[in-house]
Amino acid sequence: MAEALRQGLVVASHGRHCVVETQDGERRICHPRGKRSQSVVGDRVAWLPAAAGQGNEGTIEKVEERRNLFYRQDEIRTKSFAANLDQILILLAAEPVFSEMQLARALIAAQAAGIAPLIALNKSDLPEPFERAWQRLQPYRDIGEGRHYPVLPLSLAQAPEDARSALIPLLAGKTTLVLGPSGVGKSTLVNLLVPGAAVLTAEISQALNSGRHTTTSTALYWLDGQRDTAVIDSPGFQEFGLHHITPMDLARCMPDIAAHASHCKFYNCTHLHEPGCGVISALKMGPSADGISAIRYSIYSDLFKKLGQTRY
Ligand SMILES: Nc1nc2c(ncn2[C@@H]2O[C@H](COP(=O)(O)OP(=O)(O)OP(=O)(O)O)[C@@H](O)[C@H]2O)c(=O)[nH]1
Ligand SMILES: [Zn+2]
């Protein structure tokens, strides 16, 4: 008799292979049945265990409909980070100095996918570089009335308990994807929130690679026994391709620009040169309460041109 389909949650993935968590919390390696059953971390799936005597692995038969999918896309490929997210935590640090373009790109992708972003700035124990980084984040903290991004100062290494108390209420009951460039303290963060995460990751990557020591691409960790609160650790903050976003979509994905785009004379204003443009007049107001910062505007115009060039 054929086995009945079972429900599960994808909690780790490496290439095409993944780990599915069953409803009672057991974890198994699964492989997609075909192209249409390829899944990402956070996916709800229907899966089948291998037939008796065929080992302990399973196949993914169906990926349930996604609430959202966070991905980046360059000219060649699409890389999915995770699905069914409540928010994205972008972790930056006083050092190494972060790329504002990379930050802006990640925020735009989040906005385009309808997922709320949250920014944290680590290494507040390094006063001078921290102050410089904090100032650079000013346009993000003050991105227009009611539209700002929360920006959280942290010192994960020096004040871990304070960091945890600040983070937990923001994460509770949600699934949060954690992204950040290398060296900002992402492993420190995940290990603070999920003691033993490093061991778990090593186990999973070993299982998925049959013993080879490469790190797992993406993994979901529960913060609580009820499995209500999760963080997903994923690499790949660099080279954040926005090929899936058209130039005319861009303003909508940048809240400080969007706030002024409805004041333009032309409905199809590109905000680059048109007369009567609300965005250009907000830029002239400067980074005041309701203006647009020069850096944010240059990010907008650079991206607008770039996204226009690479379209086919
Ligand atoms: N001064 C200071 N250093 C920190 C803090 N948090 C982490 N670090 C240090 O920053 C370095 C990077 O930390 P990791 O947690 O390995 O960073 P990561 O983002 O996982 O880095 P990758 O492994 O390169 O992706 C380590 O040397 C940490 O000790 C902090 O709050 N203050
Ligand atoms: Zn305009």
Please name the residues in contact with 174: beta carbons below 8 A apart, sequence gap of 6 or more.
86, 87, 229, 230
Note the pLDDT of residue 311.
53
CATH architecture of 247-309: Orthogonal Bundle (1.10)
Q: Which residues pair with 60 in a beta bridge?
A: 32, 47
Question: Averaged over 45-51, what is the pLDDT?
Answer: 91
- Superfamily in which the 69-233 domain is placed by CATH: P-loop containing nucleotide triphosphate hydrolases (3.40.50.300)
First-last CA distance in the chain: 50
pLDDT tens per residue across span 233-280: 988 777 788 988 999 999 999 998 998 999 999 999 999 999 999 999
> Strand 78-83 vs strand 87-93: parallel, antiparallel, or unpaired?
unpaired
Strands 27-32, 17-22: pairing kind: antiparallel
Do the domains at 6-63 and 247-309 have one common CATH topology?
Answer: no
**Helix ranges (DSSP H) in the chain:** 100-113, 127-136, 138-141, 160-171, 186-193, 197-208, 247-250, 255-261, 278-284, 294-309
Q: What ipTM was reported for this prediction?
A: 0.96
Distance 84 CA to ligand 2 centre (A): 33
48-57, 60-69, 207-216: which has the highest mean pLDDT? 60-69
- Nearest atom within ligand 1 for CA of residue 235: 25
Arithmetic mean of pLDDT, 274-293: 85
Pull the structure tokens for residue 195: 């003691």
At the top level of CATH, the class of 6-63 is mainly beta
User: Taking the domains of the chain in order of start, what are their residue ranges?
Assistant: 6-63, 69-233, 247-309
pLDDT at 211 over 60: no
Ligand 1 pocket by Cβ (under 6 Å): 122-123, 125-126, 155-158, 180, 182-188
The response to whether 139 counts as a known ligand-binding position is no
* Residue 62 labelled as part of a binding site: no
Closest residue by Cα to atom 1, ligand 1, is 123
What share of the chain has pLDDT > 90, as a percent? 65
Q: Flag whether 183 is marked binding.
A: yes
Higher pLDDT pick, 199 / 31: 31
Average the pLDDT over 208-232 and give the result: 80
Phi-psi region for residue 246, left (φ > 0), alpha (ψ -120 to 50) or beta?
Answer: beta
Place of tokens 């980046």: 72
- Answer yes or no: is 31 a known binding residue: no
Tell me which ligand sits closest to the C-alpha of residue 283: 2
Ligand 1 pocket test, pick from 98, 188, 216 with the greatest ligand atom count within 8 Å of Cβ, gives 188
Say whether pLDDT at 134 is over 70.
yes
Q: Which residue puts its alpha carbon closest to atom 10 of ligand 1?
A: 185
Entry pTM: 0.92
Q: Which pLDDT belongs to residue 213?
A: 47
Residue nearest to atom 2 of ligand 1 (CA): 123
- Tell how far the Cα of 312 is from the centroid of ligand 2, in angstroms: 25
